[in-house]
A and B are shown apart, each in its own frame.
Chain A
Amino acid sequence: MTVLTTPDRPDRPAVLADTRTMLGRGVRRLLRYPSLTIMLVGIPVVFLLLFVYVLGGTLGAGLVPGGGRSDYLAYVVPGFLLLTVASSGQGTAIGVAMDMTEGIIARFRTMAIHQPSVLSGHAFGAVIQNFAALLVVLGVALALGYRPDAGPLGWLGAVGLLLLVVLAVTWLSMALGLGAKSVETASNAPMVLMLLPFLGSGFVPTESMPTVLRWFAEYQPFTPIMETLRALLTGGVPGAADAGLAIGWCVLVIGYGYLRSRRLYTRSR
């Protein structure tokens, strides 16, 4: 619309340098505002403890005949890893919406810098925040007795897949945060993302759900992601269809989130 884009393309070193500078800014902001990160890590940890200790015994018995708490733990950890990523989206949306209210964004726009690096800085910061949270959740799961059977290749695949999911959730949340009218509404939009892992195969097998819900669960993006992640972590080989769908969804959402975010960022206010 009334946007100005920089017609002269900055050279590659400038793009890299500006992105690195903005990444530094993103990480600094995370460190200065740790309560958000702590909240984002805390929620999945509390839920993990609740699910495993309060519900785990019964759910484990329903999962496999004669099963118990440890069987449920083995089943549910991938779900919690994804829940961690999904809930971090809220932090990304809040962070970017908060940033947009700061006058410094207007300053960045009047400077001869690689403009999208402002957003890339946020995205890289979010990736670091996500992986820190994932490590904490995984650490708690290990302390509870979770023992994944994945080999080096399986771990590599799992980390790669998680990175894709993190990027997808991050860019989508960024678009939601940029499009929000205020910081408050920015924190609401990605909440739906937090529900999605529950409405899939993350916490109970989809076969146990009522028809309509099951239909939704089987087709929503988190289910193939979850199945692929679970297969990788248990040392198995993920189904080609699930893996393809998982990667496809991620790439699609990353593309949409990135383009939408760029558009919203350059829009005049």
Chain B
Amino acid sequence: MERQTAIAVAGLRRAYGEHEVLAGIDLTVPRGTVYALLGPNGAGKTTVVHILSTLLRPDAGDVRVLGHDVVAEAGAVRAAIGVTGQVSAVDGLLTGTENMRLMAALHHLDRTEGAERCADLLARLDLTEAADRPATTYSGGMRRRLDLAMTLVGDPQVIFLDEPTTGLDPRSRRALWAIIRELVARGVTILLTTQYLEEADQLADRIGVLDGGRIVAEGTADELKRRVPGGHVRIRVATADDLARAGAVFPTATADPDTLALDVPGGGDVTALRAVLDRADAAGLAIADLTLHTPDLDDVFLALTGQEVPA
């Protein structure tokens, strides 16, 4: 079992003074998979990453990375992990290449091997052109990519990404997702935190929803979506009269007179759709437009954390 498990956390607690940030967390991440910690600001996501990456000591609980205890065997954990935190961990006074070579030297790679790997990673992350400029001149997306490139120099088996795409434009975000998928395909285990539901949906094998220091729900994206109601068929009609008639045909639906739309609950799948169409036909109701709405992680997030979805 040890061989298959990359990250094992049991009963993790951590407080800052009086304020309890983590109130007993359990999670298991199998090797070669992506686990996303999803939660609003202040939920404790970063604290989890800091503890897993040996920056913070847990108050209680058993926290292991590749079987090594993060407190007693911090050195062994550090040798196996790579971390890209929220604050970009690059040396602004050094150039891209110098930052990379610094990592190669600290991993004790031999000179030629190190130089090759650095050039390789810079190319993979589309930084070759900017490699000889100081990192202070980089854009946010470039800094983030350099940050990740530096993390990859040591060929880590487990990577922690703390909000890796926060503040990135959609193109950079998609580029980063592609890189993450590539890493996972090569057997790397990734734990990432995110506020973006789409990101968790796109990348993660399992998602843990963290709120108030607890994991309030866990599962695959589909499992989580199934747990919340919210699937419906939305029909639009042409006139206010039609809307009133539609309201009579579907008494459980909620109508929106402004958009002449009607949300019919009962699921957002094909069966529900057929039922809606049959009833509309039977009543001779003319439908102008129709959309299916399956619950997305936004609904899950809202239902589980009782908070508005962060923008």
Q: Kindly state whether residue A256 has any CB partner on chain B within 8 Å.
A: no
**A216 CA to B4 CA, complexed, in Å:** 68
Tell me which residues across on chain A come within 8 A of B150, comparing CB atoms.
107
Q: Kindly state whether residue B81 has any CB partner on chain A within 8 Å.
A: yes
Q: What are some 15 contacts across the A-B interface (CB < 8 A)?
A: A4-B74, A7-B73, A7-B74, A7-B75, A18-B106, A28-B93, A29-B94, A33-B93, A103-B88, A103-B89, A107-B85, A109-B54, A110-B55, A110-B81, A268-B55
CB interface residues, B 96-130, toward A, < 8 Å: 98, 102, 105-108
**A32 CA to B133 CA, complexed, in Å:** 12
A110 touches B78 (CB 8 A): yes
**A109 CA to B88 CA, complexed, in Å:** 14
**A4 CA to B69 CA, complexed, in Å:** 12
List the 8 closest pairs (A to B, CB-CB), nearest first: A8-B75, A107-B89, A103-B87, A103-B89, A112-B79, A112-B78, A21-B105, A32-B93
Q: Kindly state whether residue B134 has any CB partner on chain A within 8 Å.
A: yes
Q: Kindly state whether residue A208 has any CB partner on chain B within 8 Å.
A: no
Consensus secondary structure, chain B interface? loop
Tell me which residues across on chain B come within 8 A of A14, comparing CB atoms.
108
Q: Kindly state whether residue B56 has any CB partner on chain A within 8 Å.
A: yes
Tell me which residues across on chain A come within 8 A of B53, comparing CB atoms.
110
Contact of B75 among A17, A106, A112 (CB under 8 A): A112
Q: Kindly state whether residue A113 has any CB partner on chain B within 8 Å.
A: yes
Q: Mark A10-30, 1 if CB is under 8 A from B, else 0.
A: 100010011001001100110
- How many B residues touch the partner, as a band? 35 or more
A6 touches B89 (CB 8 A): no
Nearest Cβ on chain A to B192's Cβ, whole angstroms: 16
Q: Total contacts A to B, CB within 8 angstroms?
A: 88
Nearest chain-A residue to B84 (Cβ)? A107
Hey, which bits of chain B sit against chain A, CB under 8 A? 53-57, 70-76, 78-79, 81, 83, 85, 87-94, 98, 102, 105-108, 134, 147, 150-151, 154
Question: Known: A25-B102, A113-B106. Contact between A32 and B85, CB under 8 A?
Answer: no
**A175 CA to B218 CA, complexed, in Å:** 45
A107 touches B108 (CB 8 A): no
Tell me which residues across on chain A come within 8 A of B107, comparing CB atoms.
111
**A107 CA to B87 CA, complexed, in Å:** 10
Contact of A6 among B74, B88, B105, B106 (CB under 8 A): B74
Question: Known: A7-B74, A8-B73, A104-B90. Contact between A110 and B105, CB under 8 A?
Answer: no
- Please indicate which of the listed interface residues B70, B79, B89, B90 has the most CB atoms of chain A within 10 Å of its own CB: B89
Nearest Cβ on chain A to B26's Cβ, whole angstroms: 22
Tell me which residues across on chain B come within 8 A of A5, comparing CB atoms.
74
**A113 CA to B108 CA, complexed, in Å:** 10
**A33 CA to B94 CA, complexed, in Å:** 10
Tell me which residues across on chain B come within 8 A of A102, comparing CB atoms.
89-92
**A107 CA to B107 CA, complexed, in Å:** 13
Question: Known: A2-B56, A29-B93, A268-B57. Contact between A17 and B108, CB under 8 A?
Answer: yes
Contact of A21 among B83, B106, B134 (CB under 8 A): B106
Contact of A4 among B57, B88, B154 (CB under 8 A): B57
Tell me which residues across on chain A come within 8 A of B94, comparing CB atoms.
25, 28-29, 32
A107 touches B105 (CB 8 A): no
Hey, which bits of chain A sit against chain B, CB under 8 A? 2-8, 10, 14, 17-18, 21, 24-25, 28-29, 32-33, 102-104, 106-113, 268
**A111 CA to B78 CA, complexed, in Å:** 5
Tell me which residues across on chain A come within 8 A of B73, comparing CB atoms.
7-8
Nearest chain-B residue to A30 (Cβ)? B93
Nearest Cβ on chain A to B46's Cβ, whole angstroms: 11
**A25 CA to B92 CA, complexed, in Å:** 12
Nearest chain-A residue to B90 (Cβ)? A104
A111 touches B106 (CB 8 A): yes
B93 touches A106 (CB 8 A): no
Nearest chain-A residue to B58 (Cβ)? A2
Tell me which residues across on chain B come within 8 A of A104, comparing CB atoms.
89-91
Tell me which residues across on chain B come within 8 A of A29, comparing CB atoms.
91, 93-94
B75 touches A107 (CB 8 A): no
A109 touches B90 (CB 8 A): no
B134 touches A32 (CB 8 A): yes
**A268 CA to B88 CA, complexed, in Å:** 18
- Please indicate which of the listed interface residues B90, B92, B93, B102 has the most CB atoms of chain A within 10 Å of its own CB: B93
A106 touches B85 (CB 8 A): yes
**A241 CA to B90 CA, complexed, in Å:** 49
Tell me which residues across on chain A come within 8 A of B106, comparing CB atoms.
18, 21, 108, 111, 113
Tell me which residues across on chain A come within 8 A of B88, comparing CB atoms.
103
Tell me which residues across on chain B come within 8 A of A112, comparing CB atoms.
75-76, 78-79
Nearest Cβ on chain A to B227's Cβ, whole angstroms: 35
B87 touches A4 (CB 8 A): no
B92 touches A110 (CB 8 A): no
Contact of B154 among A6, A10, A17, A111 (CB under 8 A): A111
Nearest Cβ on chain A to B62's Cβ, whole angstroms: 16
**A155 CA to B54 CA, complexed, in Å:** 48
Tell me which residues across on chain B come within 8 A of A6, comparing CB atoms.
74-75, 78
Nearest chain-A residue to B78 (Cβ)? A112
**A107 CA to B95 CA, complexed, in Å:** 17
